[in-house]
Structure 1
Amino acid sequence: MVASKLEVLVDLGPKPDERVLEKTLKELNSQDDVKQAVFKDGAFMVETTLPSTVVLDMVAKTSGKRAVLQGFGETQSAVAMVSSQVCCKGGVLGVVRFQESPDGALIADGSVDGLRPGLHGLHVHDAGDLSQGCSTIGDHYNPHGSPHGGPTDPLDRRHAGDLGNIVADERGRATFRIVDNVLKVWDIVGRSIAITERRDDLGRGTSPLSKINGDSGSTIACGIIARSAGVFQNPKRICACDGVVVWDERERPLAGRGRRETGDVQKPCCKTETQDVKQCCQREKAEVQKPCCKV
């Protein structure tokens, strides 16, 4: 199996507890799927074949601290924020990360919530156009004009973007790690990743759609694939202007009301009264109207 290197940042405070560090490293290194785990430059460096979400959960549970993935992969990396592209609650939401390993294989590592339990197709599409949601992302990425197939099929019998299926558990969460020998990071940056409502039959079904999209139904979630930071390439600890620390960022909306409600945390951009700061802080007070939720 191809291993990935993860940079896991943990909320250890100004002076890390050596006992917590030792306990966490011992737990990580005891896993058969962890090649090596060390603490370096304020973060855990983990080389593993486990999905990143599994590692994050393990670190958080063992240390008793909040943990976030700060960097993924040493070589070319990309990421997509996947959602059902609707502003109301109850949709599909997740993250898919991509890394090109030193031997050229592409690793797709993801965690997606809000799915119906069972199998769902996962595909890279031609376009990174979300102007009309997932309906404008184009067809499967297929530079060689091949029929639809499965990820283990040769290139003349699969779309380059065919990544097979992911499995959602009874809670609606799919955690996965796929190794693909066709796609490259720079082929997919600017394109999109999509999840379908049904299982992909990998081009082996009897439906006329089998050789087109695996008869996997409509797209229920998608996201644009963008370049991302590898390990120790992202020094961010606090978000510019709005003062939301990296620990709280994933638990808050991306914008609008509620973004900067940090309790007793002082908002750095609101400490002075310059014109630029005033404009920045006005965003906190603005109510973001969600058009699809008006009716």
Structure 2
Amino acid sequence: MDSAKIEFAVQMTCQNCVNAVKKSLSNVEGIKDVDISLERGTVVVDTNLPYSLIQEKIEGTGKMAVLKGYGGGNSGYSFGESIKGVIRFAQTANGCIIDGTVDGLSPGPHGLHIHECGDISRGCESVGDHFNPQNTPHGGPDSKPSERHVGDLGNIIADNSGRVRFRIVDQLLKVPEIIGRSLVVTENPDDLGKGETPASKIDGNSGKKLACGIIARSSGLFQNTKQICACDGLTLWDERDRSISEKTESSTDYKICRVS
């Protein structure tokens, strides 16, 4: 599976911190290379593992870590409300990497699709149809290009706790073509166009849209230089703590501050 470089901000104060982080990532299958900078407070990992697994390894040392950037052309998508998670897309020479963690789903498979419109003014009902610029029938990620939508990403499978971690490499998807569109997780599994009803060739009989949001441009490697949040003056670490501890009933669970 293709690897990509992922950048984390890590709260390190001395060489012992560097050594502890390096040890936590050593001999981990799926990690090709680790570059740690005490001066910048960053850890860059070349890996084919989901970013959340790398983050857990680093935080197992007692050091806080925040995802800052993803190698290659990239974009990000965040869920809100009862279903929470982050999915990132990174363009590589061998395809588009789709790396995500989602919580709050019912156990089992759920369809994952990119839809044509970045309009959530009426929630998931205004995102349009699957992204399908070639006007082809619905299929699965392993179908021929003439037998699938560009936005057909197949299924993700939640465990008994409702969490799913996944890392997909799709040969048809291009990051520049999906920024500003929307990503949707559905209630039912996608039959990948193999069902016997007319809906199978439209949406894979994947049912109700459970969660949706607009795909936006996010930071690549070394592009996110934020240390202080311009919204309220909180440090990166204060903001991270608050995003974990303060849960609200609003449409999102934490504030996102953007930098240019």
TM-score above 0.5 = yes
Contact 2:2 2:94 in 1 (8 A): no
1:132 aligns with 2:135: no
Q: Secondary structure, in 3 states, of the residue corresponding to 1:56?
A: helix
RMSD: 2.0
Alpha-carbon distance change, 253 to 136 in structure 1, aligned in 2, over 3 angstroms: farther
Q: What percentage of residue pairs aligned between the two structures are identical?
A: 46
Q: Distance in 2 between matches of 1:290 and 1:144?
A: 38
Of residues 62, 65, 69 in structure 2, which corresponds to 1:64?
62
Q: Distance in 1 between matches of 2:196 and 2:241?
A: 44
Match of 2:255 in 1: none
Note the residue ranges of structure 1 that are not aligned, 5 or more in a row.
260-287
Match of 2:84 in 1: 93
Alpha-carbon distance change, 241 to 290 in structure 1, aligned in 2, over 3 angstroms: closer
| Cα deviation 1:106-127 (Å, max 9, x = unaligned) | 0111111110011111000000
| Cα deviation 1:192-211 (Å, max 9, x = unaligned) | 01100011111112232111
Contact 1:29 1:36 in 2 (8 A): no
Q: Which of the two has higher C-alpha Rg?
A: 1
Contact 1:29 1:35 in 2 (8 A): no
| Cα deviation 1:145-184 (Å, max 9, x = unaligned) | 1111010111110000000111111111111111000011
Contact 2:8 2:67 in 1 (8 A): yes
Q: Distance in 1 between matches of 2:119 and 2:170?
A: 24
**Code of the aligned partner of 1:3:** S
1:7 aligns with 2:4: no
Q: Secondary structure, in 3 states, of the residue corresponding to 2:127?
A: coil
| C-alpha displacement of 1:104 | 4.6
Name which structure has the greater RCO, CA cutoff 8 Å, separation 6+. Answer: 2
Contact 1:195 1:221 in 2 (8 A): yes
Q: Distance in 2 between matches of 1:177 and 1:253?
A: 24
Contact 2:9 2:41 in 1 (8 A): yes
Note the residue ranges of structure 2 that are not aligned, 5 or more in a row.
252-260
Q: Distance in 2 between matches of 1:196 and 1:24?
A: 37
Q: Distance in 2 between matches of 1:225 and 1:252?
A: 24
TM-score (norm 1): 0.80
Contact 2:11 2:41 in 1 (8 A): no
TM-score (norm 2): 0.90
Of residues 144, 159, 177 in structure 2, which corresponds to 1:187?
177
Match of 1:46 in 2: 45
Alpha-carbon distance change, 118 to 248 in structure 1, aligned in 2, over 3 angstroms: farther
1:109 aligns with 2:87: no
Alpha-carbon distance change, 289 to 155 in structure 1, aligned in 2, over 3 angstroms: closer
Alpha-carbon distance change, 193 to 231 in structure 1, aligned in 2, over 3 angstroms: same
Contact 1:6 1:72 in 2 (8 A): yes
Going by fraction, where is strand more abundant, 1 or 2?
2
Alpha-carbon distance change, 191 to 64 in structure 1, aligned in 2, over 3 angstroms: same
